[in-house]
Amino acid sequence: MKNQETLKKNKTKIIAFAAMMAALSNILSMPPFIIPITIVSFQSEIHFTQIPIFIASILAGSWAGLLTGAVGGLYMSLVVPFIPFIVGGLALLGFSAGLFAKRLKLRPFFSSILAWCVQAPYVFVTDYIWFTSFKLMPPAGAMATVLTILAKLTVEIIVAAALTEIVVPFIKRAGLTF
């Protein structure tokens, strides 16, 4: 009976932590936490919504990462009207990072980078199909746009992975474990 109570408390703790990280993820995708950039004629923003997703997945597991990514991408999926696939991509990112961290016992940085290697093809395919299927742009323009998005996201992921590598040990030392 005591094990069931402990398991139930742990699940509740994980869900609460994932919800808190999802809220933080949404906040980090809003002004003033975004940095506007221009790459040639491509207007975009650098954001760090991935940091809480990585933290949740590495500390609480792949399902917490999936939940954090899905809920943590809601704001961006509403404000970036031409790409409705953000929620799925961030959920995949969170799940993958947790899987690599727990199953392969990788450090946060490497778990996060490998998770991006899983998410990047998803971003490529969904964005390219979206841009070309709805006649938003010709195939060559769609390819250039998608490759620019991937380059921008790669920079975001590397920075987010490095910051996660720094932050996770402090969180563990503070006693937050699952």
Q: What pLDDT digit, counting tens, does each position of 115-137 carry? A: 999 999 999 999 999 889 877 78
166 part of a folded domain: yes
- For 148, residues 6+ apart whose C-beta sits below 8 A from its C-beta are 39, 40, 42, 44
Is residue 129 one of the residues assigned to a domain? yes
Report if residue 24 sits inside a domain.
yes
Residue 96 covered by a domain:
yes
Pairing of strands 42-46, 35-39: antiparallel
Number of domains in the chain: 1
Whichever domain contains 48, its CATH number is 1.10.1760.20
Examine residue 117 and state whether it is found in any structural domain, yes or no. yes
Residue-level pLDDT at 31:
82
Give the mean pLDDT of 62-84: 85
Amino acid at 32: P
Nearest to 53 by CA among 85, 92, 110: 92
Q: Which domain, by its residues, includes 28?
A: 2-173
* In a domain? residue 135: yes
Question: Does residue 120 lie within any of the structural domains?
Answer: yes
* pTM assigned to the model: 0.91
In this structure, what DSSP letter does residue 1 have? -
- pLDDT greater than 70 at residue 71: yes
Residue 178 forms part of a structural domain: no
